[in-house]
C-alpha cells in the first residue's frame, strides 16, 4: 500500500525590497526614478527645481550621493553622473545612489558660479528654511539628500579662468576617508581643511564622509577629467560593495600631498604658462613667463616650493598679485 502523498509546499515569492522615499516620492527598487526638489517659483509662476535621480537597488546596502554644479558654471560633473548612471544596472545594485547633477540650478541657467544674489552656494551650508535663496537651497539639499545618505562625492572644477589637475580633496587623517580616496584613484590626494559654510563641512557635522573631486575648468567639458571621474565614482561604489562589476584600475597610484600653495604674479601683463598640469617642479623652477604687449618687459615666475603642479590660470591676462599656479607639496 502506497504512503499518502505529501502535500506540496506553496511557493513563496521573494519579498521585494521596500521603495526609497524622498521628498514624498517613493522610488521602487530595481529602477531609476527622477524626483524634483522644488526650490522656488519663477516670475512666470513655474517652479525652479533641482533634479535628483534615485537609483534604488534590489539589495540592501549603503546610501550615497553624487552631486555636481554646486557652482553653476562647473560642469564636468554633469556628464560624470550621466555616465555613472548609464554604467550601473539598478537590478544588480546593492544600496541606493542619489544622483544630483545640477545643485545650483539658478547659476546653471545663468551660466554663473553664483546664485542671482551673487552668493556662493558652497559658503551657505547647512542653510536655513527661511533664509536667503542660497540658504534655502542649501537647507533643501541637506534635508532631502545629505540626511538620507552616509557618504557623498561632490564634483567640482577650477573656478573661472583656472584649471585643475584631477584630484581628491578630503580629510586624509580619517582612515575610512583615506581608504575611499585611494580607491577613487585620482592622480593626487590633497589633505584639505574644512571651510565654514561648505557642503563638506556641513555634512561632516552630520557625521557624513565627503570626497571632493576637482578636475578641469569652468564652462568646459574635459573628457579626460570626466573619464577619471566616472572611473573613480564606480571604484568607490565597488569598494562599498554596491556593485560587483569589473572596474578599471587607475593608471598609477595616487600621490598624497599634505599641503599646497599658490604662486602669485609679481607684475601685470600677459601670462604664458611654461609648466603643465601634473609636472613635478623643484623650488626655483620657471613655471610661467609674464610680459608686456611688446614683449620687452618680462618677468619669470618661479616655483616657491617643490611639488606637483595641480592648478594654474587659463586667462592670458594677469594682474600683479593674481594666483597663477597651484603647487601641492608631495
d(CA 208, CA 18): 24
d(CA 210, CA 128): 21
**Is residue 10 pLDDT above 50, yes or no?**
no
CATH class of 258-329: mainly beta
Beta-bridge partner residues of 307: 281
Written as one string, the DSSP assignment of 246-304 is --PPPSSPPEEESEEEEEE-SS-EEEEE-S-TT-EE-TT-EEEEEE-TTS-SEEEEE-S
Q: Which residues contact residue 317 at a Cβ distance below 8 angstroms, ignoring those fewer than 6 apart?
A: 269, 270, 271
Angle at 209 between CA 204 and CA 211, to 5 degrees: 110
For the record, the C-alpha cell of 225 comes out as 577629467
Residues 79-129 have pLDDT tens digits of 999 999 999 999 999 999 999 999 999 999 999 999 998 999 999 999 999
Residue 11 confidence (pLDDT) = 43
**Is residue 13 pLDDT above 50, yes or no?**
no
CATH number of 21-255: 3.40.630.10
Q: Determine what percent of the chain is predicted with pLDDT higher than 90.
A: 89
Residue 296 confidence (pLDDT) = 86
d(CA 163, CA 160): 8
Residue 6 confidence (pLDDT) = 52
Side-chain half-sphere exposure of 2, counting CA atoms within 13 A: 3
Residue 293 confidence (pLDDT) = 93
Tell me whether the CATH fold assigned to 21-255 matches the one assigned to 258-329: no
Helix, strand or coil for residue 170?
Answer: strand
Give the least confident one: 8-17, 92-101, 260-269. Answer: 8-17
My answer on whether omega of the bond before 126 falls inside 30° of 0, hence cis, is: yes
**pTM of the entire predicted model:** 0.93
d(CA 32, CA 14): 21
Domain ranges of the chain: 21-255, 258-329
Residue positions counted in the chain: 330
For the record, the C-alpha cell of 290 comes out as 609674464
Helix residue spans in the chain (DSSP H) = 77-87, 105-110, 133-144, 175-184, 199-205, 223-239
Angle at 78 between CA 112 and CA 124, to 5 degrees: 50
**Is residue 242 pLDDT above 60, yes or no?**
yes
Instruction: With beta carbons less than 8 A apart as the criterion, state whether 144 and 23 touch.
Output: yes
For the record, the C-alpha cell of 111 comes out as 551660466
Helix residue spans in 23-110 (DSSP H) = 77-87, 105-110
Q: Determine what percent of the chain is predicted with pLDDT higher than 70.
A: 96
pLDDT average, residue stretch 239-261: 93
Residue 144 confidence (pLDDT) = 97
Residues 59-74 have pLDDT tens digits of 999 999 999 999 999 9
pLDDT average, residue stretch 171-186: 97
Residue 248 confidence (pLDDT) = 87
pLDDT average, residue stretch 188-214: 96
DSSP secondary structure code for residue 129 in this structure: T
Instruction: With beta carbons less than 8 A apart as the criterion, state whether 208 and 141 touch.
Output: no
Residues 120-139 have pLDDT tens digits of 999 999 999 999 999 999 99
Amino acid at each position: 500500500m502506497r504512503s499518502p502523498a505529501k502535500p506540496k509546499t506553496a511557493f513563496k515569492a521573494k519579498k521585494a525590497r521596500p521603495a526609497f522615499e524622498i521628498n514624498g516620492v517613493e522610488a521602487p527598487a530595481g529602477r531609476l526614478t527622477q524626483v524634483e526638489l522644488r526650490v522656488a517659483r519663477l516670475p512666470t509662476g513655474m517652479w525652479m527645481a533641482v533634479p535628483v535621480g534615485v537609483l534604488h537597488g534590489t539589495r540592501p546596502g549603503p546610501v550615497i550621493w553624487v552631486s555636481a554644479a554646486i557652482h553653476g558654471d562647473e560642469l564636468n560633473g554633469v556628464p560624470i553622473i550621466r555616465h555613472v548612471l548609464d554604467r550601473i544596472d539598478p537590478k544588480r545594485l546593492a544600496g541606493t545612489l542619489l544622483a544630483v547633477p545640477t545643485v545650483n540650478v539658478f547659476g546653471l541657467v545663468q551660466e554663473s558660479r553664483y546664485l542671482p544674489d551673487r552668493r556662493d552656494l558652497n559658503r551657505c551650508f547647512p542653510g536655513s528654511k527661511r533664509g536667503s535663496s542660497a540658504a534655502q537651497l542649501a537647507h533643501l539639499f541637506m534635508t532631502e539628500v545629505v540626511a538620507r545618505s552616509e557618504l557623498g562625492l561632490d564634483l567640482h572644477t577650477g573656478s573661472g579662468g583656472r584649471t585643475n589637475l584631477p584630484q581628491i580633496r578630503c580629510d586624509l587623517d580619517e582612515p575610512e576617508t583615506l581608504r575611499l580616496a585611494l580607491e577613487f584613484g585620482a592622480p593626487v590626494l590633497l589633505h584639505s581643511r574644512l571651510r565654514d559654510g561648505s557642503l563638506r563641512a556641513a555634512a561632516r557635522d552630520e557625521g557624513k564622509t565627503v570626497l571632493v573631486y576637482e578636475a578641469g575648468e569652468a564652462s568646459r567639458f574635459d573628457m579626460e577629467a570626466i573619464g577619471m571621474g566616472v572611473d573613480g565614482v564606480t571604484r568607490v561604489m565597488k569598494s562599498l560593495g554596491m556593485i560587483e562589476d569589473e572596474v578599471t584600475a587607475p593608471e598609477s597610484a595616487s600621490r598624497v600631498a599634505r599641503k599646497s600653495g599658490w604662486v602669485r604674479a609679481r607684475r601685470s601683463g600677459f601670462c604664458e604658462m611654461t609648466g603643465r598640469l601634473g609636472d613635478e617642479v623643484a623650488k626655483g623652477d620657471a613655471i610661467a613667463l609674464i610680459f608686456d604687449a611688446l614683449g620687452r618687459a618680462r618677468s619669470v615666475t618661479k616655483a616657491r616650493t617643490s611639488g606637483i603642479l595641480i592648478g594654474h590660470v587659463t586667462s592670458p591676462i594677469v594682474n600683479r598679485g593674481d594666483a597663477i599656479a597651484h603647487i601641492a607639496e608631495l
